Structures are given as structure tokens and as C-alpha cells.
Amino acid sequence: MLQRLLVLGSTGSVGDSILDVVARHPDRFLVHGLSAHRRVDKLYQQCLRFRPAIALVTEPQHAIELQAHLLAAGLATEVLCGEDALCEAARACDYDTLVAAIVGAAGLLPTLGAAQAGKKILLANKEALVMSGALFMDTVAQGNATVIPLDSEHNAIFQCLQGCAGDRDGVERLILTASGGPFRTRSLESLAGVTPDQACAHPNWSMGRKISVDCATLMNKGLEVIEAHWLFNLPAQRIQALIHPQSVVHSMVVMRDQSVLAQLGNPDMRMPVAHALAYPQRIESGVEPLDLTRLAGLTFEHPDVQRFPCLGLALQVLAEGGQASAALNAANEVAVEAFLGRRIRFTHIAQVVEQTLQRIDLPGHAGLEAILGLDHQARQLAREQVRVCGAQA
Ligand code: NDP
Ligand code: MG
């Protein structure tokens, strides 16, 4: 039986990894749908190659143009447009597996739709889970959906947890590894002057620009600790982040008996992608074999929250119960966009997030409306803060 895939965010970096693995296994996977935001030409090329039933875009003008091009090329692909169309497609019964690879809060509603509809969800879009935490996991449980993490650390933990054969009391703690990003060894003073291109030049992984900046600020690791908390149902104190510059150990699980299970491999997203697509089977991924004899060494150190305050802010939000997670995420999205647009400095990102968290009014409940309201309020506060920082820069 072919597994029918709806790949949301197919034009991104994770989308590339997904389609690369899918193309290696035409006997297993069928691309039902693809989606893009700005890179519509790339979506057109993907449609020519994978001939999906549907293609989704966000702008009506893009939809008209893409539909015309596809018709001219003799394809029957139907082009759909807008957030409602994304949600409807995610809830529909004509596919099996949702790949949630849209970046940021824009991925939340379609991913929740797939959870309600009981789909298998391959989750890359960590922002969606960070924003909605308990609601997301409850929706997954109620909809009888399955989540398999694509984020390499969480995918590694998912794999290592098989080592306790369902005895979750046997798990003592999780260790999430982080490369430390391109500024791991830089002084705090020198960070004020770094450029977006420097921040996006990740030493080990090739990724979209937003997550690359998150890796440089270590906000990514903060979001990932929150992600791990929800995915694996463990309290913050039992989730540790360690800097591991080689990015070979993708994460670890420490068992009660002090056995430490780790998952290793070259840093290439096609590995977690192949695992998640084929789970519980194993398929060829295209990833270079790991040559252990060529590794100079594997090192681990504690992260420095003085130089990388975003990690501390995320950990604080989780320690306080996680209610402010949607605000943390929204403020970070606004700040990263402003940094990428050269409107604020790199070191302002943490300031924008911190000031937003200080000013936000937390709602008394955690339903979807409250989460979306928090997201909205935090974006407004963060934009004000961006203007303040921008005026100082
Ligand atoms: P990219 O920026 O490369 O791709 C993002 C995708 O989302 C693109 O297809 C983009 O469309 C689409 N998109 C952006 N904004 C919107 C919107 N408003 N509405 C609909 N679609 C939108 O990001 P990545 O692939 O790097 O990351 C995707 C997600 O996966 C993120 O949540 C990230 O944190 C997570 N992740 C990524 C990893 C990686 O290795 N890249 C590793 C682990 C997790 P378009 O390109 O057409 O504009
Ligand atoms: Mg990761």
C-alpha cells in the first residue's frame, strides 16, 4: 500500500529532505499534496516532478498563475489557496500522512486539523507545538493521531526511547544536544555586530533562515526543550540541553540504571525523515555513512545562558508552567524577522523577547482562542519593542 503524503512547506529545507527521500522510494510513497508560500516557481517544479492531486499556496494571484501553468503542462493538479484551504486539506480523508514543515505559527491550524482527523503527523514545525502544548497533545490523543518527530533531536530521543520497551518509569532524563551554532565561541560584545548571513551560516546543518537564526541565539534549543516536554511528557527538570559542536550525537536518553542511549549519524535531515516516513520499518535515506574512525572526538559542554539569553528565557517560560510559550514564540518570530531584515541587531532578539514576556497579559485558560490571542498580543508588543531597539541601533 502506498503511503499518501500531504507535505505542507514542501518548498523549504525540510521539504527538500522529504522529497529527496520520497523520490528514492516510489514504491512506498505517493505525494498527494504540496504547499508553498513565496517560492511558487519551486512549487511548480515540484508539481511537475511529483504530480500531486493538490497544490496549496497562500496568495490568490499565485494560485491563478500556478493553475494556468500546470494546466498548460498537462497536469490535473488542483491549486487551492489560503489558510482555510490548508486546514481543509489537512482534515480531508484522501491522504494518510501530514508532513508539518511550514515554519512558524502559520503551521499551527493545519497541523491541529490533521491531529483532529487522526492522521500520522511527521512534525518539523516545532513552533506549532510550542505555541499550543497541552492543546496540541490533547488533540492528538482525542483524534487518535500519531506524531513522529522530524526534529533531529526529538527523532533521536523517539528512537532511543524504544530502548525502554514502554517502561516510561525507566527513563530518568533526556539530553538534547545542540551544536552551539556559528557564534559558539564568540564574546558577548562581538555578537552585537554580527550580520544575518553570518547568523545563518550554520557550521553543521543547512536549514531555513529562521531556524538558522534560532540556532545562533540558542532559542532553537529552548523551543526544543519545550517541544520535548510536550512530546515525551517529562518535566523541565528532567530535560537537559548540552552543547555538542560535532552534531554527531543527535540526542540521548538516560535510563534509571544510568544506561545512556544515544542516536548517532551524520547531520543530514534525510535520516530522521527516512525514519519517520517508514516507521517502524527502516529504509535507505541517501545519508553518507558515519565513519567513526574519522571523528576527531565527541565533546559536550554546558550552554552559556549569559551569552545566549534566549535559551534562559525559554527555560524560564517552561519552568513557570509554559503558559507564556505562545508569547515567547511569537516575540521570537517577530524579532528574528526584524533581525533578518536588518532592522535590529542580533543581541536585540533576546531583548525583544524578554520585554514582550514582561509586558504580556497571560490568559486564564489555554484554549485555541486564548493561544491565538496571546500570539497576536505578543506580536504587537514585540513590534513596538523592535521599533525601540531599531531606534537605538
Ligand atoms: P524554510 O524557511 O526552509 O521553509 C519553510 C516552509 O514554510 C516553506 O515551504 C515556506 O514556503 C513555508 N511557509 C513560510 N511561511 C508560510 C506561511 N505564512 N504560510 C504557509 N507556508 C509558509 O524552513 P525549514 O524547512 O528550515 O523549517 C521548517 C520547519 O521545520 C520549522 O518549523 C523549523 O523549525 C523546523 N525544522 C527544520 C529543520 C531543518 O533542518 N531545516 C530541522 C528541524 C526542524 P516558501 O518557501 O514557498 O516561502
Ligand atoms: Mg533540532
pLDDT in tens, 131-142: 999 999 999 999
| Res 237: pLDDT | 96
Helix crossing, 325-340 with 219-232: angle to 10°? 150
CA angle 278, 266, 160 (to 5 degrees): 55
CA of 40 from ligand 1 middle (Å) equals 14
pLDDT given for residue 234 in this prediction: 96
224 CA to middle of ligand 2, Å? 7
Predicted confidence at residue 35, as pLDDT, reads 98
pTM of the entire predicted model: 0.98
Spacing of C-alpha 65 from chain mean position: 30
> In angstroms, rounded to a whole number, what is the distance separating the alpha carbons of residues 196 and 154?
27
Continuous segment of H or E residues that includes residue 372: helix 368-392
Half-sphere exposure of 168 (CA within 13 A, CB side): 7
Q: For each of the domains in the chain, give its residue range(s) and CATH number, in order of start.
A: 3-150 (3.40.50.720), 173-266+303-391 (1.10.1740.10)
Nearest-atom number in ligand 1 for the CA of 220 is 34
Q: Which residues line ligand 1 (CB under 6 A)?
A: 9-15, 36-39, 58, 101-103, 106, 124-127, 151, 205, 207-208, 210-211, 269
CA pair distance 152, 274, nearest whole angstrom: 11
Name the stretches of the chain with pLDDT < 70. Answer: none
CA of 87 to the centre of ligand 2 (A): 25
Long-range (24+ apart) CB contacts under 8 A made by 64-70 are 65/40, 66/40, 69/44, 70/44
Q: What is the pLDDT of residue 11?
A: 98
What single DSSP character describes residue 362? P
Q: Return the pLDDT at 279.
A: 97
pLDDT value at residue 364: 82
What's the sign of the alpha-carbon dihedral 332, 334, 335, 340?
A: positive
* Mutate-to-test residue for ligand 1 from 6, 17, 136, 207, highest number of ligand atoms within 8 A of CB: 207
Query: 219 C-alpha vs ligand 2 centroid, how far in Å?
Result: 11
In 3D space, the residue among 67, 69, 225, 66 whose CA is nearest the CA of residue 157 turns out to be 225
